[in-house]
Amino acid sequence: MPADTGAAHFRRARISGTYDFDHEIIVTLRSRQGSPGVNIITPVRIPGSDTAVLVNRGWVYAADGMTVDLTRWREPDTMSGEGYIENFRSRPGAVKAVSVANAYRWMDRPALVQAFPYPIAPWYLVLTGNGETPSDSVPPRIPVPPLDEGSHRSYALQWFSFAAISIIGMVLYLRRK
């Protein structure tokens, strides 16, 4: 991986190691197709390294968007998978949810470093599905975000339309005066 975490963003990666379910956390208030839920984040211990990689294993339904029975979502301890790299994000406000012990509102590295008894990588991995369907113990994986222009063109057209309407409206208003 590059030393600059910005250069690693969205880079595809493969990982093999052992899940540490004892230090698993959740990221709260995530939605999928209009339903509330959480993302399950599990540290993966890499053989021969003291640093763990946090892995977003996927999204699961939670009626309140904060609490879920994590024991239901235990995969085999040894794992091998692929996904893409994401960067941690810091922002103002309370990172840790007050009412749930292992719940975080977003992936804030300074807060997460304190939650684990070992060092964590400067980025985390989002596992993606390889066409497999989720089972009773495998949460639905997070899809790869589309790499397209998004809605920029429609926003540009919308704002240019607002500008044209204002200019034409002002001209018509001044002509009537």
pLDDT (tens digit, 9 = 90+) per residue, 7-27?
677 889 999 999 999 999 999
pLDDT tens per residue, range 61-119: 999 999 999 999 999 999 999 999 999 988 888 888 888 889 999 999 999 999 999 99
Co-location of 116 and 154 in the same domain: no
Split at pLDDT 50, 70, 90, the class of 135 is low
145 near 63, Cβ under 8 Å?
no
1 near 13, Cβ under 8 Å?
yes
Share of the chain above pLDDT 90, in %: 64
- When divided into structural domains, the chain yields a total of 2
Co-location of 91 and 166 in the same domain: no
Range of the domain at 32: 5-145
Co-location of 86 and 19 in the same domain: yes
Whole-prediction pTM value?
0.78
* C-alpha triplet 115, 101, 60: angle, nearest 5°: 100
Co-location of 139 and 162 in the same domain: no
Instruction: Specify the pLDDT at position 69.
Output: 92
